[in-house]
Chains A and B, each alone.
Chain A
């Protein structure tokens, strides 16, 4: 017969557990896409709730396993000492079980009410007038429209959401095809984008920075590469960016750029992509107005460099297999001009 858990064994188990936690703490993910690096009050509240839950859960778990080990040890001791087998102590055991259940219930009740408080704090509407942004999910990119009452104020971009620091931002969520879910963990929990429904979520970024998010509802082939950036900047900077974005795209300044624009408008690009100020107005794919100043391509998949852009245009299927953009065979001079044109769209 095997011996039951001994003291040495328990110490070894505890040490192993600590080592594991230390190891895990060293293997953290990047801090720009984490629920444990809150950059705003919404994520902050949840992060605090998490730590409370973590420590409470750890205590409950350790106590439970310790109780089990203790029970086994006591039984072993009684057997060695030749005590009653089994021990008849219904009253004592009943009291033990009742105490355990009562303690569990107490912990759960505390957790439940704390959670309700957090939930109610988070579910209220924004305290000040929020900046409203419409986000529409597509397979596999994010359409971002800055709503404004005036027709000149509205503008659309893709895969990047600029927000002013310290101001509430309200996202109106919709989907053009299947269910997606927007999740920027540094800032807030997620919300689904369900076709046929409009949902809203609001958050506030208190620390300037670039925060990454990803689609969190399986939406097909390239669900894994449907990322987005939330760029939180000081209000003045944001206002300048917004004002600039309301302008149509700059006209080409030189012949190469002009040629690039021609390649864009006469080729297949304009069938799916819009550029404000040109006759390309299709909403099938992401708007390319301002693509020159976007940080990533392919919804957060690649850094926006000339080389990456070239690779993407020529064969997006190699980077995001299954994406709806087809490959484009272009003559090298045409490709070069196109790249120059797109880079000029800042």
Chain B
């Protein structure tokens, strides 16, 4: 088959032809309206925006849990919440934040941004993407409904056995937890496959590897990490723990040769990379923001990319540092200490490169930039306590105490939440076509910054002074009352900051200043199209000639012509140099992803109660698969004299 042809001379702009093309694209890519349209859309932008919004709802719900926990802990021997309810609250807080907020919001932002940043029309598998969202939604609703029905999981987000096993956790609470993990794990794997395929095969012509934006590299790294981390927790929870509880397998039953330590190994082999999966896209956000608001490329691009990969890779070698107090041979522990200490080097390198970028650029302190800088100021505190925790003797003192709670909230708030809010302020104009209020944004930032420090800094001392984690109350003689009260007050600042943000979003979504295509003067491809982008993202596929296309391209953007506008299709390019190679038809709206997700929902929610759910579920899923894969004739015939992928395959062709 012939490859693409470079025209000998650029065609002059033809506005009449362009307008007709846009009209044709409008017809071909038009989204369906109403509820049916909402349920069947496969547009990555619609799906991603609702995905992000859903994650923020879970953030609010899990955050409400935390607010209640803080109220209970504000005074010694408080009777606001009893132990049973408290155990559910902290378990669902952790589970919700980790599985339903931190990772999915990062993948959801990637699902929105990646096709736009690499210059293509949609993700590689649009229907799969829709399926991933629905499965995620079902899992999240399942968790919180269970909590509100007093059936919430109550053995911690890490659910150690034997406490979470059939003998010590009767009832269905832990089964709910195990299956929530299943749903979120499927959704994460879907997102990972989408990101990898899109980044490797759908980049705009000319976007060779060394021209890929740093943010895109960061989500590519976590996509690979997800492929290895998620299956591990799925085996542990969906298979082993659920089976121990449901059909009396003995994976963790010491009496029959099982091993509670196996759970810890599997869970933390997932759990440690999980926190880097949340954090590494934050690094990508910070790079994108600092680049734009200093007006220069991030210094040290190759080293920045290498740092992302090294961090992601080494993250898989740390997990035993969660188990230092357990019955493991001491010999291997030093290896994990070393890995946990030296993993800071790549991140430190990134911070120094950002500082160099700021030094040599022209910084503008928009809200997004404040959040990016706030990342450095907050995260590094968590980073240094992380290095301390890598030490076995020190960890044995503060493991499972409030010192650890302080550490991980600093790295999560600093490394995930601050960059995420920065990203919201940065990309909201692109998503909604409106600017968020900078004034409210500054309030949001400072309230969150103060709240984070007032809530979590005292916890370092609480941990050193002996306060363990996961306690619903404490005795007055311990002397922990003042610092707990201070932390509770701090939590109100955090809550206030979130309220300010919500007000900002609601006000600005309709009433904010209209954003143009590129209100920030940013360099990457998503800013080359309108705000919000049309369903087809780019009227013409961009052609990339540098790492910062919008800064280097000149008054007219180079583009590629030739993609059909009478049917939905995108361009597939080679993995290394992004040379145009083939094209692929993009599917229309479909209800089958939702139906498949419901089949999965029936399977795994049913599996809480009976193993036969797997049989029923498999059958339903096969039926849904049939509907999904059932071929439809394309509405647009192939060009004259040519066949296309949806032409009938006749014998003797």
A pairs with B: yes
A residues contacting B by CB (< 8 A) are 1-4, 20, 24, 27-30, 33-36, 43, 45-46, 49-50, 53, 57, 60-61, 64-65, 67-68, 70-72, 74-76, 79, 85-90, 93-94, 96-97, 100-101, 104-105, 108, 111-112, 115-116, 118-119, 122-123, 139, 177-179, 181, 183, 185, 188-192, 194-199, 212, 214-225, 227, 301, 321-322
Measured CB to CB, the closest approach of chain B to A318, in angstroms, equals 11
User: Which residue of A is nearest B359, CB measured?
Assistant: A71
Q: Compute how far the CA of A53 lies from the CA of B381 in the bound complex, rounded to whole angstroms.
A: 12
Inter-chain contact B380/A61, CB cutoff 8 Å:
yes
Q: Compute how far the CA of A50 lies from the CA of B394 in the bound complex, rounded to whole angstroms.
A: 7
- Please name all residues of chain A whose beta carbon is closer than 8 Å to the beta carbon of B224 when the two chains form the complex: none
B474 at interface by CB-CB < 8 Å: yes
Residues 286-331 of B contacting A (Cβ, < 8 Å): 294-296, 299-300, 303, 325-327, 330
User: Which residue of B is nearest A104, CB measured?
Assistant: B348
- Identify the interface centre among A90, A218, A301: most chain B CB within 10 Å of its CB: A218
- Given A194-B260, A217-B400, are A57 and B356 neighbors across the interface (CB < 8 Å)? no
9 extra A-B contacts, CB within 8 A, seeds A29-B461, A29-B483:
A35-B398, A49-B394, A74-B359, A76-B363, A86-B296, A97-B303, A179-B260, A181-B400, A195-B162
Inter-chain contact A43/B337, CB cutoff 8 Å:
no
Inter-chain contact A24/B334, CB cutoff 8 Å:
no
Q: Compute how far the CA of A87 lies from the CA of B344 in the bound complex, rounded to whole angstroms.
A: 28
Measured CB to CB, the closest approach of chain B to A179, in angstroms, equals 6
Inter-chain contact A115/B482, CB cutoff 8 Å:
no
Do most interface residues of chain B lie in helix, strand or loop, or is the interface mixed? helix
Q: Compute how far the CA of A87 lies from the CA of B453 in the bound complex, rounded to whole angstroms.
A: 35
Measured CB to CB, the closest approach of chain B to A286, in angstroms, equals 19
Inter-chain contact B364/A34, CB cutoff 8 Å:
no
Q: Please list the 10 inter-chain residue pairs (A to B) with the smallest Cβ-Cβ separation, ordered nearest first.
A: A189-B396, A29-B465, A196-B254, A224-B471, A33-B466, A86-B296, A57-B384, A71-B359, A100-B352, A87-B360
Residue of B296, B348, B396, B466 near A212 (CB, 8 A) is B466
Residue of A45, A197, A223 near B327 (CB, 8 A) is A197
B338 at interface by CB-CB < 8 Å: yes
- Please name all residues of chain A whose beta carbon is closer than 8 Å to the beta carbon of B83 when the two chains form the complex: 221-222, 224, 321-322
CB-defined A-B contacts under 8 Å, sample of 10: A2-B365, A27-B461, A29-B465, A87-B361, A93-B299, A119-B333, A181-B325, A183-B401, A189-B399, A217-B160
- Please name all residues of chain A whose beta carbon is closer than 8 Å to the beta carbon of B377 when the two chains form the complex: 65, 68
Q: Compute how far the CA of A88 lies from the CA of B461 in the bound complex, rounded to whole angstroms.
A: 45
Q: Compute how far the CA of A139 lies from the CA of B155 in the bound complex, rounded to whole angstroms.
A: 14
- Please name all residues of chain B whose beta carbon is closer than 8 Å to the beta carbon of A67 when the two chains form the complex: 352, 355
Inter-chain contact B254/A195, CB cutoff 8 Å:
yes
B261 at interface by CB-CB < 8 Å: yes
- Please name all residues of chain A whose beta carbon is closer than 8 Å to the beta carbon of B358 when the two chains form the complex: 68, 71-72, 75
B362 at interface by CB-CB < 8 Å: yes
Inter-chain contact A93/B356, CB cutoff 8 Å:
yes
Residues 473-495 of B contacting A (Cβ, < 8 Å): 473-475, 477-480, 482-483, 486
User: Which residue of B is nearest A70, CB measured?
Assistant: B359
B156 at interface by CB-CB < 8 Å: yes
User: Which residue of B is nearest A36, CB measured?
Assistant: B464
User: Which residue of A is nearest B327, CB measured?
Assistant: A197
Inter-chain contact A61/B381, CB cutoff 8 Å:
yes
Q: Compute how far the CA of A188 lies from the CA of B395 in the bound complex, rounded to whole angstroms.
A: 11
B470 at interface by CB-CB < 8 Å: yes
Q: Compute how far the CA of A218 lies from the CA of B405 in the bound complex, rounded to whole angstroms.
A: 14
- Identify the interface centre among B163, B338, B352, B397: most chain A CB within 10 Å of its CB: B397
Q: Compute how far the CA of A139 lies from the CA of B392 in the bound complex, rounded to whole angstroms.
A: 27
Inter-chain contact B326/A192, CB cutoff 8 Å:
yes
Inter-chain contact B483/A27, CB cutoff 8 Å:
yes
Inter-chain contact B461/A53, CB cutoff 8 Å:
no
Q: Compute how far the CA of A274 lies from the CA of B39 in the bound complex, rounded to whole angstroms.
A: 65
- Please name all residues of chain B whose beta carbon is closer than 8 Å to the beta carbon of A24 when the two chains form the complex: 457-458, 461, 483
Residue of B295, B397, B474 near A35 (CB, 8 A) is B397
- Given A24-B483, A86-B295, are A194 and B261 neighbors across the interface (CB < 8 Å)? yes
B349 at interface by CB-CB < 8 Å: yes
- Given A36-B465, A181-B400, are A89 and B392 neighbors across the interface (CB < 8 Å)? no
B353 at interface by CB-CB < 8 Å: yes
- Please name all residues of chain B whose beta carbon is closer than 8 Å to the beta carbon of A89 when the two chains form the complex: 360
Measured CB to CB, the closest approach of chain B to A181, in angstroms, equals 6
Inter-chain contact B163/A218, CB cutoff 8 Å:
yes
Inter-chain contact B466/A218, CB cutoff 8 Å:
no
- Given A29-B479, A108-B345, A191-B325, are A115 and B394 neighbors across the interface (CB < 8 Å)? yes
Q: B441-482 vs A: 1/0 string, CB under 8 Å?
A: 010000000000100011001101111111111110111101
B84 at interface by CB-CB < 8 Å: yes
Residue of A68, A189, A212, A218 near B397 (CB, 8 A) is A189
Q: Compute how far the CA of A30 lies from the CA of B483 in the bound complex, rounded to whole angstroms.
A: 12
- Please name all residues of chain B whose beta carbon is closer than 8 Å to the beta carbon of A321 when the two chains form the complex: 82-84
Residue of B82, B341, B400 near A111 (CB, 8 A) is B341
Q: Compute how far the CA of A17 lies from the CA of B373 in the bound complex, rounded to whole angstroms.
A: 18
Inter-chain contact B470/A218, CB cutoff 8 Å:
yes
Residue of A118, A183, A222 near B468 (CB, 8 A) is A183
User: Which residue of B is nearest A49, CB measured?
Assistant: B394
- Identify the interface centre among A61, A177, A178: most chain B CB within 10 Å of its CB: A178
Measured CB to CB, the closest approach of chain A to B23, in angstroms, equals 41
Inter-chain contact B361/A86, CB cutoff 8 Å:
yes
User: Which residue of A is nearest B324, CB measured?
Assistant: A189
**How many residues of chain B have a CB within 8 Å of chain A?**
94
Measured CB to CB, the closest approach of chain B to A294, in angstroms, equals 16
- Please name all residues of chain B whose beta carbon is closer than 8 Å to the beta carbon of A71 when the two chains form the complex: 355-356, 358-359
B351 at interface by CB-CB < 8 Å: yes
Measured CB to CB, the closest approach of chain A to B388, in angstroms, equals 5
Inter-chain contact B464/A112, CB cutoff 8 Å:
no
B376 at interface by CB-CB < 8 Å: yes
B637 at interface by CB-CB < 8 Å: no
Inter-chain contact B341/A199, CB cutoff 8 Å:
no
Q: Compute how far the CA of A343 lies from the CA of B260 in the bound complex, rounded to whole angstroms.
A: 41
- Identify the interface centre among A60, A94, A119: most chain B CB within 10 Å of its CB: A119
Inter-chain contact A43/B295, CB cutoff 8 Å:
no
- Please name all residues of chain A whose beta carbon is closer than 8 Å to the beta carbon of B345 when the two chains form the complex: 101, 104-105, 108
- Please name all residues of chain B whose beta carbon is closer than 8 Å to the beta carbon of A60 when the two chains form the complex: 380, 384
B545 at interface by CB-CB < 8 Å: no
Measured CB to CB, the closest approach of chain B to A34, in angstroms, equals 5
- Please name all residues of chain B whose beta carbon is closer than 8 Å to the beta carbon of A179 when the two chains form the complex: 160, 162-163, 260
B393 at interface by CB-CB < 8 Å: yes
Q: Compute how far the CA of A68 lies from the CA of B374 in the bound complex, rounded to whole angstroms.
A: 11
Inter-chain contact B400/A57, CB cutoff 8 Å:
no
- Identify the interface centre among B156, B168, B461: most chain A CB within 10 Å of its CB: B461
Q: Compute how far the CA of A194 lies from the CA of B160 in the bound complex, rounded to whole angstroms.
A: 11
Inter-chain contact A112/B362, CB cutoff 8 Å:
no
- Please name all residues of chain B whose beta carbon is closer than 8 Å to the beta carbon of A76 when the two chains form the complex: 363
Inter-chain contact B363/A123, CB cutoff 8 Å:
no
B107 at interface by CB-CB < 8 Å: no
B387 at interface by CB-CB < 8 Å: yes
- Given A27-B461, A97-B349, A191-B396, are A75 and B359 neighbors across the interface (CB < 8 Å)? yes
B391 at interface by CB-CB < 8 Å: yes
- Given A75-B360, A112-B337, are A189 and B393 neighbors across the interface (CB < 8 Å)? yes
B581 at interface by CB-CB < 8 Å: no
Inter-chain contact A46/B344, CB cutoff 8 Å:
no
Residue of A28, A65, A192 near B380 (CB, 8 A) is A65
B385 at interface by CB-CB < 8 Å: yes
Q: Compute how far the CA of A218 lies from the CA of B457 in the bound complex, rounded to whole angstroms.
A: 23
- Please name all residues of chain A whose beta carbon is closer than 8 Å to the beta carbon of B541 when the two chains form the complex: none
- Please name all residues of chain B whose beta carbon is closer than 8 Å to the beta carbon of A85 when the two chains form the complex: 295, 361-362
- Given A64-B380, A115-B392, A223-B470, are A190 and B397 neighbors across the interface (CB < 8 Å)? yes
B612 at interface by CB-CB < 8 Å: no
Inter-chain contact A30/B478, CB cutoff 8 Å:
yes
Inter-chain contact B325/A192, CB cutoff 8 Å:
yes
Q: B139-175 vs A: 1/0 string, CB under 8 Å?
A: 0000000000000000110001011000010000000
- Identify the interface centre among B396, B399, B471, B475: most chain A CB within 10 Å of its CB: B396
